[in-house]
Chains A and B, each alone.
Chain A
Amino acid sequence: MEDLFANLASGLALALSLENLVFLVVGVCVGMLVGLFPGFGPAAGIAILIPMTLGLEPTTGIILLAGIYYGAMYGGTITSILINTPGESATVASTLDGYPMTQAGRAGPALVMQAVASFVGGAVGVVLICAFAPALSSFAASFGPSEYFLIVFLGLLLLATLMGDSLLKGIISALFGFAISTVGVDVISGAQRFTFGSPELIDGIYFVPVAIGLFGIGELLNCIYTGEHKKAAKRISVTIFSRAFWPRAGDFRISRFTFARGSLIGFIAGVLPGSGATIGSILAYSVEKRVARDPGEFGKGDIRGLVAPEAANNAASAGAMVPLISLGIPGSGATAVLLGALLMWGLQPGPMLIVDNPDFVWGLIGSMYLGNLMLVVMSVVAIPLFIKFLDVPYRLVVPVIVTLCIVGTFALHSSMIETWILLATGLLGFGMKRFGYSPAATVLAVVLGGMAENAFLQSLLIGDGSLRIFITRPISLALTAVVAAIFAAAALVRLRALRR
């Protein structure tokens, strides 16, 4: 334990050197900006800055790049809350209550709370890294295809709680997402499905254009349909000194345990390589809705529905550093790019990294404490600026957002097909909104569907075609038990309702 504090102190000292501090500031600022642009995720931001880091010390380099990575998590939610457009699959769940808060004129408190929740999640995550990294890395290492399948399956089951008014419409939305996720090369057989000879579809349909279309463009069309653009601009004049800007004491009181639960769930999900932050935010949201006495408030702008996924996705981005550093296994697109950077600097990620380069690892951890602190201060100072955006009359906002969405999507892979997908899903998103379907379920099914299919088929290949593999491995058995318990609980509730 003493070792831990000594290491941490030396890490903080390293992070506080002038050069490292300057690059940390650059990193978190770039990260936040990158998060703000729909479609332009942290992976792309990091990739662009990698060549810049070649001349730097590896510790300074990773401080810069990691700053972009977790800074983007802060920025990404801002668009989810203000214009209902998640740029990251991990912030889809934040739209569910974040955007209704904006519609109710509470954008200020929503943004402040998300910054606080992000900070709590990030800080708890870093503390947990310090305390449990060695134990956690062996836990992450024991996850094979069968365990992955069960975790993703759990996430899919809990999608049901995100589905708004009608379960049937929610399931239809999710199945539509699955259908989209079958496009592209089948990882197991190598056969192409629904690509129609187009090389741009070989890798499948990427979730980003679908998410921006369903949420962003769909929401715009809906606002125009309901005549939002004809209304005079609402003058919201808030500064950090006005009362309407800050969350009420009640907001904190009601969500005090939400912070803790969200951070913990997010961190554990983040440690598991795979789509950690996304599954973490879904798990946190649905757990919160389950434990709430008044689950009916969720989806209508409940502060807990925003705090839970935000604390979770930031804790997850800290958690994702565990397998990256201790096992050399990246958990997401962005951490995979970070791994490439490590190799470029001549470092070998893996169990020996912390032994051979303690300065590097502890300097990174120290910088994450400071970075999270900077981000929360920066967010609070910048929030009035973001809210100003809502002052702009809607008829002027529409062309700007449409342009941003199209340019952002095209910039991803310079693909015209993805741009058409954006426009098509935009129309679809409008229809889904009008008829009460769930775009969140569709987008998350696009992300999780392919993962579930691959992990399931890999499990069957390994288990000689038998489902026994899901109960013969200890962790799989525990996860199967959880899944079974959820089904049993649902059946029991239904049974009781019938008797009454």
Chain B
Amino acid sequence: MSRVLLVLVLAFAWIDADADSAYPVRPLTYTVAFGPGGGNDLMSRTVVDIIRQYELYGDQHVRVENRPGGSGAIGYGRVARQAGNAYVITSTSGSFLTTPIVSETSWIYRDFTPIALLALDAMFLVVRTDSPFVSIDQFVARARQSDMKIGGTGATGPDRVVAGLFAESAGIEFTYVPFQNGSGLLTGLTSSSLHALVSNPSEVMGQVAAGNFRVLAYSADSRSTVYPEVPTFVEQGYEVEFAVPRGIVMPAGIPADVRDWWIAVLKKVVATPEWKNYLETRGLSGAVLWGDDFGDYLGRTDSEYRRILNSFGSIH
């Protein structure tokens, strides 16, 4: 019995010693806190495919697991609980910041090690092509006279924040109509039930290309490389600057050299043609921030969320 124990102890000691000298020596679990097919899942799988294709994770295996539920509460909670585990990783999205603000979770963004911001998913303000609004100023002028109905996905998500920032800076009142998913939102506008909607570019791209929808403004700080013809809110005089951070985090308490190892790998990932193709087809801007810079960015975005959601009384 004691001999078996000794062998086991030695075996673990050996694994530990190895972990100090080399990374990676074990398979990686890439946790996706959402269901398959969504924006976060698509980004995570793109990263994993690139890592596999260019053999960036040594000869070890990378496993993707979807842990959806509770707007990310379950998946992110699962990663947060594994503090110190250098073999688990996950992607951020809007809910990474909003879910802890609006519900009771056991974690917030500070319970993770920030690795990298890989892209920014900013929003479009969209109207119907047959509406009288050709520019955002016309929309604002009408909004001063009558109550406008602006739709978005979720009651407390990024869509609401963008709509709220816009109304605040234009000094207008509006009714926000939350939808449970992107497809319900889209039919809200195709059926003329709404005056406008706030959405990811990728969700409305098809309708815009077909000439049914018109984009009035983009919520990033500069024009998108994919849609250079769409003006930003800022250049039209409205202080709206907001995007969902699509980045990568790991549990708290991982060794600094593992973090640097991942930063180096992800720098290779974003340089590949496959990644550029992903940004293009999804209409994302490829903003990158590494390590603590990403952490600071998450902190700033978090306080912005809290301020806006507080002003709506969405925090219970």
A-side residues, CB < 8 A to B, are 47-48, 50-51, 54, 140-148, 185-192, 195, 197, 199-203, 273, 323, 327-331, 336-341, 343-344, 346, 348-353, 413-415, 454, 458, 461-462, 464, 473
State whether A340 touches B36 (Cβ < 8 A).
yes
List CB contacts (< 8 Å) of B269-316 with chain A: 277, 281-282, 314, 316
Q: From the candidates B37, B41, B103, B177, name the one contacting A339 in the complex (CB within 8 A).
A: B37
Instruction: Determine the chain A residues whose CB is within 8 A of the CB of B154 once the complex forms.
Output: 187, 190
A473 to B192, CA, bound (A): 10
Residue B164 at the chain A interface, CB threshold 8 Å? no
Residue B222 at the chain A interface, CB threshold 8 Å? no
Residue picked from A143, A144, A188, A337, most chain B C-beta under 10 Å: A144
State whether A415 touches B69 (Cβ < 8 A).
yes
Listed A/B pairs (10) with beta-carbon separation below 8 Å = A145-B177, A186-B155, A192-B103, A202-B70, A202-B103, A323-B183, A327-B186, A338-B37, A340-B37, A344-B45
Residue picked from A187, A190, A340, A454, most chain B C-beta under 10 Å: A190
Instruction: Determine the chain A residues whose CB is within 8 A of the CB of B178 once the complex forms.
Output: 187-188, 190, 458
A93 to B311, CA, bound (A): 46
Q: From the candidates B35, B188, B191, B205, name the one contacting A350 in the complex (CB within 8 A).
A: B205
Instruction: Determine the chain B residues whose CB is within 8 A of the CB of A454 once the complex forms.
Output: 179-180, 184
State whether A330 touches B179 (Cβ < 8 A).
no
Given contacts A339-B37, A340-B37, A458-B179, contact A200 B206 (CB under 8 A): no
State whether B71 touches A203 (Cβ < 8 A).
yes
State whether A352 touches B210 (Cβ < 8 A).
yes
State whether B67 touches A414 (Cβ < 8 A).
yes
A202 to B155, CA, bound (A): 14
State whether B155 touches A188 (Cβ < 8 A).
yes
State whether B42 touches A340 (Cβ < 8 A).
yes
State whether A144 touches B67 (Cβ < 8 A).
no
Contact with A along B35-68 (1 / 0, CB 8 A): 1111001100100010000000000000000111
Residue B175 at the chain A interface, CB threshold 8 Å? yes
Residue B229 at the chain A interface, CB threshold 8 Å? no
Kindly provide the distance from the CB of B25 to the nearest chain A CB, expressed in whole angstroms.
Answer: 25
State whether A329 touches B183 (Cβ < 8 A).
yes
A186 to B71, CA, bound (A): 13
Q: From the candidates A50, A143, A195, name the one contacting B191 in the complex (CB within 8 A).
A: A143
Q: From the candidates A328, A413, A462, name the one contacting B186 in the complex (CB within 8 A).
A: A328
Instruction: Determine the chain B residues whose CB is within 8 A of the CB of A142 once the complex forms.
Output: 190-192
Q: From the candidates A203, A338, A340, name the one contacting B69 in the complex (CB within 8 A).
A: A203
State whether B102 touches A190 (Cβ < 8 A).
yes
Instruction: Determine the chain A residues whose CB is within 8 A of the CB of B69 once the complex forms.
Output: 199-200, 202-203, 413, 415
Given contacts A203-B69, A330-B183, contact A190 B155 (CB under 8 A): yes
Residue picked from B155, B178, B183, most chain A C-beta under 10 Å: B183
Question: Given known contacts A202-B103, A329-B183, A413-B74, what 8 new A-B pairs fall within 8 Å (CB)?
Answer: A47-B66, A51-B49, A185-B155, A186-B155, A187-B180, A343-B202, A350-B209, A458-B188
Residue B187 at the chain A interface, CB threshold 8 Å? yes
Residue B104 at the chain A interface, CB threshold 8 Å? yes
Closest to B186 in A: A329
Instruction: Determine the chain B residues whose CB is within 8 A of the CB of A461 once the complex forms.
Output: 149, 175, 177
State whether B277 touches A346 (Cβ < 8 A).
yes
A462 to B197, CA, bound (A): 13
State whether B206 touches A328 (Cβ < 8 A).
yes
Given contacts A47-B66, A197-B104, A329-B186, contact A351 B71 (CB under 8 A): no
Q: From the candidates B103, B181, B188, name the one contacting A145 in the complex (CB within 8 A).
A: B188
Residue B73 at the chain A interface, CB threshold 8 Å? yes
Closest to A465 in B: B175
A187 to B314, CA, bound (A): 12
Instruction: Determine the chain B residues whose CB is within 8 A of the CB of A147 once the complex forms.
Output: 191
Instruction: Determine the chain B residues whose CB is within 8 A of the CB of A349 once the complex forms.
Output: 206
A186 to B180, CA, bound (A): 10
A337 to B210, CA, bound (A): 23
Residue B135 at the chain A interface, CB threshold 8 Å? no
Residue picked from B42, B70, B177, B282, most chain A C-beta under 10 Å: B70
Closest to A460 in B: B177
A315 to B206, CA, bound (A): 26
Instruction: Determine the chain B residues whose CB is within 8 A of the CB of A273 once the complex forms.
Output: 183-184, 187
Kindly provide the distance from the CB of B220 to the nearest chain A CB, expressed in whole angstroms.
Answer: 20
A195 to B192, CA, bound (A): 35
Instruction: Determine the chain A residues whose CB is within 8 A of the CB of B102 once the complex forms.
Output: 190
Residue B131 at the chain A interface, CB threshold 8 Å? no
A346 to B282, CA, bound (A): 9
State whether A200 touches B74 (Cβ < 8 A).
yes
Given contacts A147-B191, A352-B206, contact A203 B70 (CB under 8 A): yes
Kindly provide the distance from the CB of A269 to the nearest chain B CB, expressed in whole angstroms.
Answer: 15
Contact with A along B75-105 (1 / 0, CB 8 A): 0010000000000000000000000001111
Residue B212 at the chain A interface, CB threshold 8 Å? yes
State whether B147 touches A464 (Cβ < 8 A).
yes
A54 to B178, CA, bound (A): 34
Kindly provide the distance from the CB of A345 to the nearest chain B CB, expressed in whole angstroms.
Answer: 9
Closest to A191 in B: B316
Q: Which 5 A-B pairs have the closest CB atoms?
A: A350-B206, A340-B37, A144-B193, A190-B155, A144-B191
Residue B113 at the chain A interface, CB threshold 8 Å? no
State whether B70 touches A200 (Cβ < 8 A).
yes
Kindly provide the distance from the CB of A326 to the nearest chain B CB, expressed in whole angstroms.
Answer: 10
Kindly provide the distance from the CB of A107 to the nearest chain B CB, expressed in whole angstroms.
Answer: 35
Instruction: Determine the chain B residues whose CB is within 8 A of the CB of A336 once the complex forms.
Output: 37, 181, 183
Residue B156 at the chain A interface, CB threshold 8 Å? yes
Residue picked from B69, B147, B277, most chain A C-beta under 10 Å: B69
Residue B207 at the chain A interface, CB threshold 8 Å? yes
State whether B177 touches A462 (Cβ < 8 A).
yes
State whether B314 touches A353 (Cβ < 8 A).
no
A383 to B154, CA, bound (A): 45
Q: From the candidates B35, B42, B193, B202, name the one contacting A462 in the complex (CB within 8 A).
A: B193
Residue picked from B192, B193, B210, most chain A C-beta under 10 Å: B193
A323 to B187, CA, bound (A): 10
